[in-house]
Structure 1
Amino acid sequence: MYYVLGIDGGGTKTICLVMNEQRQILGRGEAGASNYQSIGANAALISIESAIKAAIEQTGKIQVQAICLGLAGAGRSKDIEVIQGIIRDLQQSPNLPIEWILPNNIIICHDALTALVGGIGNDVGVVVAAGTGTIVFGRNQQGQTKRVGGWGYILGDEGGAYNIAVAGMKAAMRAYDGRELSTCLVEDFKNQLGLESIEDLIEVVYRRGWGVREIASLAPVVDNAAVNGDEVAREIIDEGVRELVKATRVVVTELVGDDFEIVTVGSVWKAKSNIRKKFMESICAEFGNVRVILPRYEPAYGACLLALKQLHFS
Structure 2
Amino acid sequence: MFFCGIDGGGTTTTAVVCDECGKIQGSFKAGSINHYGVGLEKARENYVAIKEQLIRLLGSEPDITYIGNSALDGEATDEVVQQLVGGIFHKKILMHSDVYIALLGFTRGASGALLISGTGSMACAIDQEGNFHTSGGWGQILGDEGSGYHLGMAGIQAAIHFHDQMAPPTLLLERLLAFYRLNNLADLIEIVYGSSPEKGNIAAFAIEVEKAAQQGDEVSIRLIDDEVEWLFRLSESILKKSGVKCLGLYGSMLVKSPIIGPQLIARYSGSDVKLSYPRFKPEIGALFGAFTHENISLDKEIIANLSLY
TM-score by length of 1: 0.86
Cα deviations by residue, 1:64-103 (Å, 9 ceiling, x for unpaired):
33221110121268886343333322225xxxxxxx3x3x
SS of the residue aligned with 1:27?
strand
User: What is the distance in 1 between the residues matched to 2:30 and 2:224?
Assistant: 33
Cα distance between partner residues in 2 of 1:123 and 1:284: 24
In structure 1, what is the equivalent of residue 67 of structure 2? 69
Q: 2:178 and 2:112 mapped to 1: Cα distance?
A: 42
Q: Distance in 2 between matches of 1:48 and 1:292?
A: 36
Q: Pick the aligned partner of 2:85 from 81, 87, 90.
A: 87
The 8 Å contact of residues 146 and 251 in structure 1, kept in 2 or not, is answered as yes
Q: Is the 8 A contact 2:5 2:283 kept in 1?
A: yes
After superposition, the C-alpha distances for 1:127-186 in whole angstroms (9 at most, x for unaligned) are: 111111111001122112221111110001001111111100110111122221110001
Residue 11 of structure 1 is matched in structure 2 by 10
Q: What is the Cα deviation at residue 256 of structure 1?
A: 2.6
Pairs within 5 Å for 1:224-235: 224-235=211-222
Q: Which residue of 1 aligns with 2:304?
A: none
Tell whether the 8 Å contact from 1:15 to 1:51 is kept in structure 2 after alignment.
no
1:308 aligned to 2:307? Answer: no
How far apart are the structure 2 equivalents of 1:73 and 1:23? 28
Asked if 1:268 corresponds to 2:267, the answer is no
Classify the secondary structure of the residue corresponding to 2:249.
strand
Give the equivalent residue in structure 2 for 1:37: 36
Give CA-to-partner distance per residue, 1:214-242, whole Å, 9 cap, x none.
Answer: 22222212121122221111111111111
Distance 1:185 1:79 in 2: 46
- SS of the counterpart of 2:88? helix
Note the alpha carbon deviations across 1:270-300, whole angstroms, 9 max, x for none.
4444211111121344x41x32222211101
Report matched runs for 1:170-209 at 5 Å: 170-207=157-194, 209=196
**One of 237, 262, 267 as aligned partner of 1:277:** 262
Residues 1:210 and 2:193 are matched in the alignment? no
SS of 1:238's equivalent in the other structure is helix
Q: What are the residue-to-residue correspondences of 1:110-149 with 2, within 5 Å? A: 110-149=97-136
Verify the 8 A CA contact 1:120 1:296 in the aligned structure 2: no
Flag structure 1 segments of 5+ consecutive residues without an equivalent.
93-99
TM-score, normalisation: structure 2:
0.88
Quote the sequence identity (%): 28
Q: Which moved more, 1:271-280 or 1:149-158?
A: 271-280
Are the equivalent residues in 2 in contact too, given 1:264–1:294 (CA < 8 A)?
Answer: yes
8 Å CA contact retained: 2:105, 2:278: yes
User: Counterpart of 1:28?
Assistant: 27
Q: 1:219 corresponds to which residue?
A: 206
CA separation of 1:15 and 1:43: change in aligned 2, threshold 3 A: same
- Deviating more after overlay: 225-234 vs 146-155: 225-234
